């Protein structure tokens, strides 16, 4: 009797342990997501994604033919904005993208003279103000300058009382991560273009064509080992090999996106080869035999029967690859650079989202909030990719008639 009970107790204990492990894992995962979400959601906005990082500050004055007037607007500004009928502009105090307060433009009357400004500095001659630009300072001849730190209300009061102003210092919106997002996308596309054909090709060779001899086994062993090498080593290699290579072949002058993509390719190749090999191996030999027995050549068999069946697996490999690309920071620090740029060129330094986070966190002071926001965006991208690949796979399997 007691023997039976002992076993039961043992059974239940073991089961509970497994339940416990799952619960712990889930709790940990949820905690991470929750933390990131909590810190980051405030700063999420469409602006963050689409705007340049660097905001440009201009100093401007009115063009010759522009002057103040009366610009009645029928809009009601109930979001805390203050409207100047003389100049046709509404501004308010708000939080900027990196967490401080600035004066933002919320509305510009279409006839406002502020639409045609003269750049007092170098560069573009014609400027205009736009919604979401920040006003730093307005300088007057007949009054002391209105500064952003004095608040929007004060600025409007002073401005309204003047008929002209000497200088308008404003900055375009910045702090957006548009540049990093574009870089990340470029990286994904380029790396996949390099890595997928080579990786899948190598996997096909190893599975379908290579004879099972010592050389092949050695090759496989090497590839296995490569998957375990820390990526920062690849980063060093990228710096040492790909950066000079791209400098020589293109008009690049330092680390650039192409060298970054090449480095990522090298990191990903072993993984892609491995995963593709596995999905090729899973295709039953029965199909190969049937195809060959019908008089198909080895190539036809591989491309018409084996590969289509392995596509689901290859898609998974791609997904893994993309995840890695997005998340790879250490290696890219060297191979691509850490400059957050707005004007992305393939042959110039840039940064990816992950490196951007690193960059934010190594600033003084560390900007955890923005980093969390970027993290959320990354999570969102990965989630979308995941779902779409799952849907794709399901569609493909259904076409083949495999009942899941």
Partner 1 sequence: MNDSIVFNVKNLNLFYGEKQALKNIEIPIYKNQITALIGPSGCGKSTFLRALNRMNDLIDECHLDGKINYYDQDIYDQTMDVIGLRTHVGMVFQKPNPFPMSIFDNIAYGPRCQGIKDKQKLKEIVDEALKQAALYDEVKDRLKESALSLSGGQQQRLCIARTIAMKPDVILMDEPTSALDPVATLKIEDLVVELKKNYTIIIVTHNMQQAARIADKTAFFLMGELIEYGDTSTLFSTPQYKKTEDYITGRFG
Interface residues toward partner 1, by CB under 8 A? 211-212, 284, 286-287, 289-297, 300, 304-305, 309, 399-403
Least Cβ distance, residue 311 to partner 1 (angstroms)? 11
In the bound state with partner 1, the residue whose beta carbon lies nearer, of 35 and 287, is: 287
In the bound state with partner 1, the residue whose beta carbon lies nearer, of 7 and 398, is: 398
In the bound state with partner 1, the residue whose beta carbon lies nearer, of 201 and 284, is: 284
Least Cβ distance, residue 214 to partner 1 (angstroms)? 13
In the bound state with partner 1, the residue whose beta carbon lies nearer, of 119 and 311, is: 311
Three-class DSSP labels, the chain: CHHHHHHHHHHHHHHHHHHHHHHHHHHHHHHHHHHHHHHHHHHCCHHHHHCCCCCCEEEEEECCCCCCCCCCCCCCCCCCCEEECCCCEEEEEEECCCCCEEEEEEEECCCCHHHCEEECCCCCCEECCCCCCEEEEEECCCCCCEEHHHCHHHHHHHHHHCCCCCEEEEECCCCCCHHHHHHHHHHHHHHHHHHHHHHHHHHHHHHHHCCCCHHHHHHHHHHHHHHCCCHHHHHHHHHHHHHHHHHHHCCCCCCCHHHHHHHHHHHHHHHHHHHHHHHHHHCCHHHHHHHHHCCCCHHHHHHHHHHHHHHHHHHHHHHHHHHHHHHCCHHHHHHCCCCCCCCCCCCCCCCCHHHHHHHHHHCCCCCHHHHHHHHHHHHHHHHHHHHHHHHHHHHHHHHHCCCC
Least Cβ distance, residue 290 to partner 1 (angstroms)? 5
In the bound state with partner 1, the residue whose beta carbon lies nearer, of 8 and 304, is: 304
Least Cβ distance, residue 178 to partner 1 (angstroms)? 44
In the bound state with partner 1, the residue whose beta carbon lies nearer, of 107 and 303, is: 303
Least Cβ distance, residue 221 to partner 1 (angstroms)? 19
Least Cβ distance, residue 294 to partner 1 (angstroms)? 4
Least Cβ distance, residue 201 to partner 1 (angstroms)? 22
In the bound state with partner 1, the residue whose beta carbon lies nearer, of 244 and 284, is: 284
In the bound state with partner 1, the residue whose beta carbon lies nearer, of 166 and 281, is: 281
Instruction: Decide: residue 177, CB within 10 A, 0-12 exposed, 13-18 middle, 19+ buried.
Output: buried
**Which tokens in the block code for residue 85?**
């009928």
Least Cβ distance, residue 15 to partner 1 (angstroms)? 37
């Amino acid at each position: 009797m007691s023997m039976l009970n002992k076993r039961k107790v043992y059974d239940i204990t073991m089961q509970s342990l497994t339940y416990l492990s799952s619960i712990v894992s889930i709790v940990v995962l949820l905690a991470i997501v929750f933390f990131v979400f909590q810190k980051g959601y405030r700063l999420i906005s469409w602006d963050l994604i689409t705007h340049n990082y660097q905001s440009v500050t201009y100093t401007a004055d009115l063009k010759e033919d522009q002057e103040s007037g009366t610009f009645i607007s029928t809009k009601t500004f109930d979001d805390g904005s203050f409207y100047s009928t003389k100049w046709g502009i509404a501004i308010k105090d708000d939080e900027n993208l990196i967490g401080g307060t600035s004066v933002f433009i919320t509305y510009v009357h279409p006839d406002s003279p502020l639409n045609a400004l003269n750049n007092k500095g170098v560069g573009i001659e014609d400027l205009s103000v736009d919604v979401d630009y920040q006003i730093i300072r307005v300088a007057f001849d007949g009054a002391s300058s209105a500064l952003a730190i004095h608040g929007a209300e004060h600025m409007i009061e002073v401005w309204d009382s003047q008929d002209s102003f000497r200088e308008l210092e404003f900055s375009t919106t910045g702090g957006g991560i548009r540049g990093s997002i574009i870089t990340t996308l470029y990286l994904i596309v380029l790396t996949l273009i390099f890595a997928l054909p080579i990786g899948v090709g190598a996997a096909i060779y190893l599975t379908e064509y290579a004879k099972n001899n010592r050389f092949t086994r050695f090759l496989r062993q090497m590839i296995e080992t490569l998957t375990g090498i820390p990526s920062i080593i690849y980063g060093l290699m990228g710096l040492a090999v790909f950066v000079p290579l791209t400098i020589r072949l293109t008009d690049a002058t330092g680390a650039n996106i192409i060298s970054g993509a090449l480095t990522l390719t090298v990191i990903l190749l072993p993984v892609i080869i491995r995963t593709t090999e596995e999905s090729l191996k899973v295709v039953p030999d029965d199909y190969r035999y049937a195809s060959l027995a019908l008089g198909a050549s080895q190539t036809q068999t591989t491309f018409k029967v084996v590969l289509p069946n392995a596509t689901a697996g290859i898609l998974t490999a791609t997904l893994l690859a993309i995840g890695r690309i997005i998340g790879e920071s250490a290696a890219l620090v060297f191979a691509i650079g850490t400059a957050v740029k707005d004007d992305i060129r393939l042959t110039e330094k840039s940064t990816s989202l992950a490196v951007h986070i690193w960059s934010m966190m190594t600033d003084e002071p560390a900007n955890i909030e923005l980093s969390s926001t970027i993290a959320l965006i990354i999570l969102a991208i990965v989630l979308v990719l995941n779902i779409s690949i799952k849907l794709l796979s399901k569609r493909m399997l259904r076409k083949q008639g495999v009942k899941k």
